[in-house]
């Protein structure tokens, strides 16, 4: 049995950088415990959950039994559904009692991303507080959103408890906060459960890559600081040594993984560790899940002796960069599931545009992104920044106190300062920083590495709420431009959806495209990253994965993308300007030799 499943407590959290396999491992752990006779509830807190896709059934915002697995039930915390239920709970009692104009005003206050986050958080804490929905379960397993979102979620119980203890404010989040005071006991119980090592275990999931291991180390330290000290480490998707014998690319990947493990961050060295080997199959379906945590799996079906030679006619990233560069300025947003390589591709595009003499601002809205590690240096024509939630929040608080607070007396300033300590303030501050980055693209290129899908959709929700608010307040016939209008203008904004050629990432990318289209934003291109099918491989395991990728690529080309490009799996991590330019210009043979 894996270390992380030895004598498991009631609550298990799986977290880590996007794309490391949190969902697959959480689902496999849930199946293993259920098979052992335990009653298990599997919960996804990811706004872009794909637990239902893994099991091949529709789950949603109510607890449902998984028919193929006795003792297993599942729940996906659906932020929009949670927000609607939260709004109904607050507005319902006053509908028909207060004037319609007042009720409409309350509904407007409850229409933004702040309400969505509070509502999802409210459901999350209810599960931790041992309410009626979970009393019949021996274990509750949480498949969480990628790291940055999860750190915020796990710190919110303490943040809201402290805020309520100090007395709530009355400006930025008056509507959303209306239902919070009643939940004080629930939040205190959630904090107690999270900090109790006998009840809660946190499983950090990483890959054999320096970036994800460093991310795991940072997550370990941040969550330990808020009392989540019982932590385990799982390193997923390690290439078996036998696959490297006759394959230069596989041998290079194996060397890279060994180097990363040899340099394991000090913060992780004392944690119990489990290693999980890369599998030849996609982790979709019950049979695959039951094999994931096994030390050995059934053999790989022979597929002939001829090596896979790649996709010589597939469009390359360089063709997309040419189209991006043509207008001389604009906003380029890379979106997608966590772990698909948005940060690397954003950096590669920005570096190539800057190398052509074009002014570029490379920025990220991902709380867990680290562009400086990818760039590893400075370049002419390229400015780099990060929308840091903490820094943005402090700047916003200072601005509000210096403007709105300047006209208030001492008591009024004290109330305003208290209101600005609300965790909701962070959402407002991040949205404003996001809007400033959008405005800059009118005179230069702004390349934005966005947060993983669910968090980005919440940010777009705030953008849409702001747009509706401005439109409602402007007189008929007035001319105005909002950030949402710029995102909807294909002449000013190009959205690139990044995915891997695997079943779940492609399905999630397709759902993201549908969500963007409903918001009036048409994706410009798809990029298939780390593509084994686009690389020459001889390893039987990699060839089997390449064959399955070809089916996914055909679906992207024929059903989803207006234009598309493929970036192959590389022998070396594309870190530093030279390798990023090589990636953008498709100099892959040189990279493989390196």
CB 495 within 8 A of CB 333: yes
**Cα 135 to Cα 454: distance, rounded to the nearest angstrom:** 29
Residue from 15, 16, 45, 46 carrying the catalytic annotation: 46
Give me the residue label for tokens 């962070």: 426
Residue from 18, 21, 148, 310 carrying the catalytic annotation: 21
Indicate the DSSP class of residue 525. Answer: E
Residue from 19, 208, 405, 454 carrying the catalytic annotation: 19
**Cα 447 to Cα 343: distance, rounded to the nearest angstrom:** 10
Residue from 15, 23, 155, 450 carrying the catalytic annotation: 23
Tell me the sheet residues that pair with 497: 335, 526
Active site residue 15: no
Active site residue 548: no
Coil, strand or helix: which one is 308?
A: strand
Active site residue 96: no
Active site residue 504: yes
φ, ψ (nearest 5 deg) of residue 47? -60, -20
**Cα 459 to Cα 482: distance, rounded to the nearest angstrom:** 14
**Cα 533 to Cα 567: distance, rounded to the nearest angstrom:** 10
CB 299 within 8 A of CB 291: no
**Cα 149 to Cα 15: distance, rounded to the nearest angstrom:** 10
**Cα 249 to Cα 230: distance, rounded to the nearest angstrom:** 37
Active site residue 21: yes
Active site residue 148: no
Active site residue 52: no
Residue from 15, 16, 18, 24 carrying the catalytic annotation: 24
In 201-294, which residue ranges form alpha helices assigned H by DSSP?
210-225, 248-262, 286-292
In 385-502, which residue ranges form alpha helices assigned H by DSSP?
389-403, 410-420, 425-440, 453-473, 483-487
With the C-alpha atoms ordered 291, 294, 295, 296, is the resulting torsion angle positive or negative? negative
> Which residues are identified as catalytic?
19, 21-24, 46, 504
């Amino acid at each position: 049995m894996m270390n992380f499943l030895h004598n498991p407590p009631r609550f298990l959290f799986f977290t880590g950088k996007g794309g490391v396999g949190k969902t697959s491992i959480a689902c496999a752990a849930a199946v293993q415990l259920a098979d052992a006779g335990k009653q298990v509830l599997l919960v996804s807190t990811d706004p872009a959950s794909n637990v239902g896709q893994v099991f091949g059934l529709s789950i949603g915002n109510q607890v449902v039994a998984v028919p193929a697995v006795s003792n297993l039930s599942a729940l996906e915390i659906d932020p929009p559904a949670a927000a609607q239920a939260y709004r109904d709970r607050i507005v319902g009692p006053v509908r028909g009692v207060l004037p319609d104009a007042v009720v409409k005003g309350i509904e407007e206050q409850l229409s933004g991303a702040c309400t969505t986050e509070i509502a999802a958080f409210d459901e999350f804490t209810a599960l931790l507080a041992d309410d009626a929905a979970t009393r019949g379960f021996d274990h509750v397993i949480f498949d969480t959103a990628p790291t940055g979102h999860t750190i915020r979620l796990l710190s919110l119980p303490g943040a809201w408890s402290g805020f309520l203890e100090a007395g709530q404010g009355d400006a930025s989040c008056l509507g959303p906060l209306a239902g919070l005071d009643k939940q004080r006991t629930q939040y205190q119980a959630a904090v107690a459960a999270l900090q109790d090592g006998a009840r809660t275990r946190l499983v950090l999931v990483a890959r054999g890559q320096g970036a994800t291991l460093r991310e795991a180390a940072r997550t370990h330290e941040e969550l330990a600081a808020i009392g989540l000290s019982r932590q385990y480490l799982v390193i997923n998707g390690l290439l078996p040594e036998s696959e490297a014998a006759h394959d230069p690319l596989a041998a290079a990947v194996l060397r890279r993984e060994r180097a990363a493990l040899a340099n394991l961050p000090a913060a992780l060295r004392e944690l119990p560790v489990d290693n999980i080997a890369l599998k030849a199959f996609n982790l979709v379906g019950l049979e695959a899940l039951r094999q994931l945590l096994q030390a050995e799996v059934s053999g790989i079906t022979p597929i002939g002796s001829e090596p896979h030679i790649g996709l010589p006619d597939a469009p390359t990233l360089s063709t997309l960069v040419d189209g991006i560069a043509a207008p001389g300025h604009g906003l380029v947003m890379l979106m997608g599931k966590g772990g698909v390589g948005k940060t690397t591709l954003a950096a590669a595009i920005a570096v190539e545009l800057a190398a052509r003499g074009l002014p570029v601002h490379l920025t990220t809205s991902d709380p867990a992104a680290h562009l400086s590690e990818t760039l590893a240096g400075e370049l002419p024509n390229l400015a780099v920044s990060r929308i840091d939630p903490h820094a943005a929040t402090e700047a916003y608080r200072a601005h509000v106190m210096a403007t709105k607070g300047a006209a208030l007396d001492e008591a009024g300033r004290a109330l305003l300062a208290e209101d600005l300590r609300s965790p909701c303030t962070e959402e407002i501050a991040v949205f404003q920083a996001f809007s400033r980055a959008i405005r800059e693209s009118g005179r230069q290129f702004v390349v934005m590495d966005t947060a993983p899908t669910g968090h980005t959709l919440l940010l777009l929700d705030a953008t849409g709420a702001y747009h509706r608010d401005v439109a409602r307040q402007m007189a008929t016939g007035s001319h105005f431009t909002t950030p949402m209008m710029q995102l909807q203008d294909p002449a000013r904004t190009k959205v690139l959806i990044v995915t891997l050629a695997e079943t779940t990432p492609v399905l999630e990318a397709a759902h993201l495209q549908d969500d963007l289209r409903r918001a009036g934003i048409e994706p410009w291109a798809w990029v298939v990253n780390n593509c084994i099918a686009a690389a020459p491989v001889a390893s039987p395991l990699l060839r089997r994965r390449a064959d399955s990728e070809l089916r996914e690529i055909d679906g992207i080309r024929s059903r989803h993308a207006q234009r598309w490009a493929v970036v192959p799996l590389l022998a070396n991590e594309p870190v530093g300007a030279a390798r990023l330019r090589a990636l953008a210009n498709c100099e892959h043979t040189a990279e493989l030799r390196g």
